[in-house]
Structure 1
């Protein structure tokens, strides 16, 4: 899995449109192997980002959970701690 794609479901506050778009862009970059597509591939690349964003938005809207929403700052702190442990060894 691409490490740059963040979990967007079950957070308070909910994922923003910018976060969904950024995740879609990272996903399409990973699949295509392009960080920035050539002019000939730009339309297909941009269309794929839009379609993945739409699919992600529908997915997030349809998921259900009984778990309480996670706090973004708490999860970010946990990630920083995991990173610190990983890279200071």
Structure 2
């Protein structure tokens, strides 16, 4: 599950709120051990996702770097290549 959480810092354009929310959702799914909570836990699950997304956005807004922004397409190509090498060996 956590393989879907990607680096969100230092991209141009900056990470969207949808990307931040998706990362928060994946994190909560991983630590809770469920992809869909029961009705009894849905409110706590949704609240955790919202709070983590909010804090993540604050973190991304506050981080400072001197490195040039990364290109999303180049980073995606690197991940694809790494995945192809990894699974070609199997």
Structure 2: runs of 5 or more not aligned = none
Q: CA RMSD in A?
A: 1.1
Structure 1: runs of 5 or more not aligned = none
TM-score by structure 2 length? 0.96
**Equivalent residue, structure 2, for 1:18:** 18
Structure 2 CA distance for aligned equivalents of residues 78 and 24 of structure 1: 23
Say how many residue pairs are matched: 89
Structure 2 CA distance for aligned equivalents of residues 36 and 3 of structure 1: 18
Give how far 1:4 is off: 1.2
Q: Which has the higher strand share?
A: 1
Structure 2 CA distance for aligned equivalents of residues 78 and 4 of structure 1: 15
Structure 1 segments, 4+ long, off by >4 Å, are none
